[in-house]
Amino acid sequence: MPERGQTARGRAEPRATTPFPMVVERGLSPGDAIAVTSFPQQLLTLRVQRCPCGGRLSLGVDQRLEAHGARMLERMEARCVRCDRMRPMWFDISAYHDDPAAHGRFDELVQLLREGVALMDQGAFAAARPRFEEIVAREPSFAPAWAKLGICAVATDNLPLARRAFTTAIGLCPMEATHHMLMSRLLERVGETDRARWHREVAEALDALVDDDEA
């Protein structure tokens, strides 16, 4: 099982029954604001984060904009659907603030994702890979695209790229069991059995964790 890590500085203490205190919570302060290029990407980012108790986050009612030098930040309130713990989530929205075309750009990324998945379903991993590369180049926090890029890289025998892609996906979504299982299989393939076992155990533990909103 994963070792119990330190809690993030400034974070509210999780409950004593917290199963995953190793989770690194992102966006807790203006200095750690998560850069995004559209409002839909903010919502996606919030959705894939987890509370230390393992619960998913829902959007609260407290939202406000704050200018920090040349940066425009938005503070959103997030609530854990499992333990009701509230936490702030700061986003750097400078890239799209007052830009009406931002939503359209996100829609383009979603379309690229759909095209890439369709090609993967056909076994055309080499053709799908450029779609996911474009997505992560334009929106580096798009975790699902990183994971799919890694799958395409494995299928085309580019294992260094696969490792980087899965590592990034895990960093963005540490509570996503699929990402850990993908990394475990890759590490098994390259002979890193201890690390592969660790990621597999994390994935199995996460799979056993059922959120209140998913029960």
Secondary structure (DSSP) of 38-66: SHHHHHHHHHH-B-TTS-BEEEEEEEEEE
pLDDT at 15 over 70: no
pLDDT in tens, 119-168: 999 999 999 999 999 999 988 878 899 999 999 999 999 999 999 999 99
CB 60 within 8 A of CB 46: no
Domain boundaries, the chain: 102-207
Q: Which of 106, 129, 104, 101 is nearest to 116 (CA)?
A: 129
pLDDT at 110 over 50: yes
- Mean per-residue pLDDT over the chain, rounded: 83
CB 9 within 8 A of CB 209: no
Q: Mean per-residue pLDDT for 95-111?
A: 80
What H or E segment, with its residue span, contains residue 77?
strand 71-80
Q: CA–CA separation, 167 vs 79, rounded Å?
A: 27
Which structure tokens are listed for 99? 């830009």
Q: Mean per-residue pLDDT for 75-85?
A: 91
Q: CA–CA separation, 98 vs 124, rounded Å?
A: 39
Is the CATH number of domain 102-207 3.40.50.2300? no
Q: CA–CA separation, 215 vs 211, rounded Å?
A: 6
pLDDT at 16 over 50: no
Q: Give the 3-state secondary structure of residue 138.
A: helix
